[in-house]
Amino acid sequence: MPKFLITVIGPTAIGKTALGIELAKHFSCEIISCDSRQFFKEMTIGTAVPSAEELDQVVHHFIHNKSIFEEYTVGDFEKEALATLDKLYVDNDFVVMVGGSGLYADAVLKGLDDFPEINPEIRTTLTSKYNEVGISYLQEQLNALDPAYFSEVDQENPQRLMRALEVCIGTGRPFSSFRGQKTNQRNFTSIVIGLDADRELIYDRINQRVDLMINAGLLAEAQKLYDHKERNALQTVGYRELFDYFDGKYPLDFAIQEIKKNTRRFAKRQLTWFKRNEQAKWFGYTTNPQHIISYIESIIK
């Protein structure tokens, strides 16, 4: 029997978790999370991990399965996710994948792109410059060398910026020119469901979610992680801004507004990334799940 991977994509706060659970319940299957920050067990409120009630409804994989003190790459996730899929397909023809990390979703759906080896001295130089000047240097350089990728990347993540820059500098070509050239064969049929809404509505939902996170204790969660703020996993919207508040760079109210602003920017980049997926079928975020289920069933018949 053919195997199917139903992937739910879309910007943050659009309702992917709820839809994923409805789909998994209908197809009596389990869920793989491809949200690259929900992997880490020290981060809960700021990463909008599914609630205990939601996790009780359907078995989820790759939720709180790693520590911020572990090195965990998208390549590691690809290998582990594919191995998990192979195990799940033994007893079921369906698996649902949910998450807002486009690179991690693409790694499972298509495989990672091939990049040439880069002289490690370039990364050493970039790291030194970042430590000396700050992230603005990386942002300006990448925007100049590869504006297409700069519009999609998490512009506050120094590791992502340096990875793209070292390829640009080491090859003399834009990082984006190496992407999308390779598609690995998969042993499943991919069905991609996108959730979307008017931009202003998405932004309103984000603002409301940030307020809920603050009320739920995000400040205390960030305080516990403050001593480890240099860890790559913590270069994340919602934590970085509060670390700056703890450092005395600006007051709490301003930090909260920065979280909202940077999350809105992140959602915009998510949509830019996901809209490149020509396979995706897009639905409004209020669409009745049964309508989406009917669409999926029309494909698998």
Question: pLDDT digits over 57-107, tens only?
Answer: 999 999 999 999 998 999 999 999 999 999 999 999 999 999 989 999 999
Topology of domain 120-178 in CATH is Histone, subunit A (1.10.20)
**pLDDT of amino acid 101:** 92
Would the CA dihedral through 214, 220, 222, 226 be positive or negative?
positive
Report the b/e string of 224-244 with b at 16+ CB within 10 A.
ebeeebebebbbbbbbbbbbe
Query: Which residues touch 40 (CB under 8 Å, ≥6 apart)?
Result: 47, 64, 66, 67, 68, 233
120-178 shares the fold of 4-112+182-300: no
Q: What's this model's pTM, rounded to 2 decimal places? A: 0.86
173-198 pLDDT, tens digit per residue, is 999 998 876 667 899 999 999 999 99
Contact 161, 139 (CB under 8 A): yes
All residue ranges of the chain with pLDDT < 50 are none
How many CB atoms are closer than 10 A to CB 120?
A: 10
CATH architecture of 4-112+182-300: 3-Layer(aba) Sandwich (3.40)
Instruction: Give the per-residue pLDDT at 114.
Output: 82
Cβ count near 158 (within 10 Å): 21
Q: Are 47 and 236 in contact (CB under 8 A)?
A: yes
Q: What's the pLDDT score for residue 183?
A: 66
**Could you state, in order of their start, the residue ranges of all structural domains in the chain?**
4-112+182-300, 120-178
Side-chain half-sphere CA neighbours of 20 within 13 A? 31
pLDDT of residue 207: 98
- Give the span between the Cα atoms of 298 and 28, in whole angstroms: 18
